[in-house]
Structures are given as structure tokens and as C-alpha cells.
């Protein structure tokens, strides 16, 4: 594959990252163009881009870091993009880079460290700081749909420790309907197989018919969500789960204010 083809393949993802980082597609595209222009003017930089996506992002970040612009106000756009951009404004630049690289762009900590020219430990610290900033700005009410009492209690403790309110717990679809009738949650944590044989998927569909809220599925049966018969969830945690995994999923879901990330 030629260098031009490699860059063309990765360009949509770089533009997505640039948009999320700057808060504006126009501003993000300006930095992407500046990166490509720099590569054309520097043979060594151009040659490094043959290494794929990581060196392309590294080149972009050098350009962006050398001429950082505050996130501008944006007009219009999709609701989940607007929500993400609003939250990005509250995160310091380095934290924002580390978070987006390891979540939105799905780079490993080591790859993000290479891109940002930092140590992996520093990347992990920056991501945690970003998550803390998001959690502080994103407190919400959470509905837990889970039929195993011990797991439900564990999730309640975890949610509360992040500063969120548990608006209710439900072990069945009917109980979930009763909770939502009283108060619409800002986030749903849902199992699939519930106590009376009802489905957590149906319970979630009931809620989404009322309000668009982020949903995280926590289940021992992930294959039931990955059939291709319905849209696959963005946030899927497999039991038995690590609390840190759930924490990260909650932060990301609330960060984007939607069950889908920036596209």
C-alpha cells in the first residue's frame, strides 16, 4: 500500500480525533492540513508516516501542541457531539489528549505514550485525571437493572463512590418500568437475563422509547448482544467484571452523553 493510500485510510479517524480535540470540525481539519503540509515539507517526517496510524497521530499532536487553540464554541451538530465537546472544555489539554487517544481512538497506553512522547505511567495518570474531571462535571442519577442482589449492591456502591445517585434498582422489566415512571435516569446499567425470565434488552428498549440515555450492558452473556440482529451496544462489560472496567465505561458513557461515541 502506498503512503498516500495509508494516509487516506487513516484520515477519517484522524479528522474525528481532531474534531473531538479542538471542538470544531473546521479547526480540527485546519490542524490536519497543517500536519500533512508539514509532512510534505519534511522528507524525514514524511517517511515516518509509512509506519501507519501511530506516527500519523504523533505528527498531528506535534503540530497541535505547538499551536494550541482553546476549544471554540460550536453551533449545531449532533446532540452527543455537543455534549462531548461541552465536557471537553472542562478537561485540561494534555488530559484531553490522553483520554481521547485511549478511548475514542482505542490506542493502547503504550501507543498513546509514543504519540504524545511521554512515559506510559504519565499517560495513565493523565487519563485518570481526565476521568476525575469528567466525573466531577457529570454527576447523574443511575438505574441499575440486575437480578443478582450481591452484584446489584456492588454496582450501587461503585456508582455512589463516583458521586452519582442511584435512582432505583430493578430485578425485572416490570420493576424497571416502575422506577422510570417515577424518575427518568441519566444512565442505565443493565443485565440481560432477569429474575422472572424477562429481558434486560426489553427493559432498556422501554426506557429508550421515553428518553435517550446512555446504557451500559453488564452481562455474562455478551454473545446475545453481538448477533447482528440489532444495533450492537457501544458499552458492553462482561461478567465477572473488574470495577475499574465499569468505572471507565461509566465515565465514557457520561462523557459522550449518549450510548454511542463520536463518529
Last residue of a domain, one of 53, 84, 115: 84
Question: What is the residue range of 17's domain?
Answer: 1-84
Number of domains in the chain: 3
238 and 194 within one domain: yes
242 and 146 assigned to the same domain: yes
pTM of the model: 0.55
Question: What CATH number is given to the structural domain containing 184?
Answer: 3.40.50.2300
CATH number at residue 43: 1.10.1740.10
CA distance 219 to 193: 8
Rounded Cα–Cα distance for residues 97 and 119 (Å): 14
Residues 1 and 65 in one domain: yes
Rounded Cα distance, 65 and 87, in Å: 20
DSSP structural state of residue 72: P
Same domain, 156 and 255: yes
Q: Please write the tens of the pLDDT for every residue from 186-205.
A: 999 999 989 888 888 899 99
Q: How far from chain centre, in Å, is Cα 170?
A: 26
Torsion angles phi and psi, residue 24, rounded to 5: -150, 130
Instruction: Provide the grid cell at 205.
Output: 428498549
Torsion angle (degrees, nearest 10) of CA 129, 134, 139, 141: -110
Let me know whether 98 and 168 are in one domain.
no
pLDDT in single tens digits along all 263 residues of the chain: 788 888 888 888 898 888 878 767 788 889 999 999 988 898 888 888 888 899 999 999 988 887 654 444 444 444 445 555 555 555 667 888 898 898 878 899 999 999 999 999 999 999 888 877 776 667 899 999 999 999 999 999 999 998 899 999 999 999 999 999 999 899 999 999 898 888 888 999 999 888 888 899 998 887 777 665 655 566 788 888 888 788 878 877 776 664 443 33
One domain for residues 251 and 147? yes
* Burial (CB count <10 Å: 0-12, 13-18, 19+), residue 229: exposed
* Degrees, nearest 5: CA angle 217-235-92: 135
Residue indicated by cell numbers 452523553: 257
Amino acid at each position: 500500500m502506498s503512503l498516500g493510500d495509508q494516509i487516506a485510510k487513516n484520515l477519517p479517524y484522524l479528522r474525528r480525533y481532531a474534531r473531538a480535540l479542538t471542538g470544531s470540525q473546521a479547526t480540527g481539519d485546519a490542524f490536519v492540513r497543517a500536519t500533512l503540509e508539514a509532512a510534505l515539507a519534511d522528507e524525514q517526517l514524511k517517511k515516518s508516516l509509512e509506519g501507519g496510524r501511530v506516527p500519523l497521530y504523533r505528527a498531528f499532536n506535534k503540530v497541535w501542541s505547538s499551536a494550541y487553540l482553546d476549544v471554540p464554541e460550536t453551533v449545531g451538530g449532533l446532540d452527543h457531539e455537543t455534549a462531548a465537546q461541552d465536557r471537553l472544555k472542562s478537561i485540561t489539554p494534555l488530559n484531553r489528549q490522553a483520554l481521547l487517544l485511549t478511548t475514542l481512538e482505542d490506542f493502547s497506553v503504550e501507543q498513546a505514550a509514543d504519540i504524545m512522547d511521554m512515559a506510559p505511567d504519565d499517560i495513565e495518570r493523565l487519563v485518570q485525571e481526565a476521568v476525575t474531571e469528567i466525573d466531577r462535571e457529570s454527576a447523574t442519577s443511575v438505574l441499575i437493572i440486575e437480578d443478582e442482589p450481591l452484584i446489584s449492591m456492588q454496582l450501587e456502591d461503585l456508582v455512589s463512590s463516583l458521586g452519582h445517585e442511584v435512582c432505583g434498582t430493578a430485578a425485572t422489566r416490570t420493576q424497571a418500568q416502575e422506577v422510570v415512571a417515577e424518575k427518568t435516569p441519566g444512565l442505565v446499567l443493565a443485565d440481560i437475563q432477569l429474575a422472572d425470565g424477562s429481558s434486560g434488552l426489553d427493559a432498556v428498549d422501554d426506557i429508550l422509547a421515553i428518553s435517550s440515555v446512555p446504557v451500559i450492558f453488564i452481562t455474562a452473556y455478551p454473545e446475545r448482544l453481538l448477533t447482528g440482529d440489532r444495533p450492537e451496544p457501544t458499552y458492553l462489560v462482561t461478567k465477572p467484571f473488574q470495577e475499574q472496567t465499569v468505572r471507565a465505561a461509566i465515565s465514557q458513557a457520561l462523557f459522550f452523553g449518549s450510548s454511542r461515541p463520536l463518529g
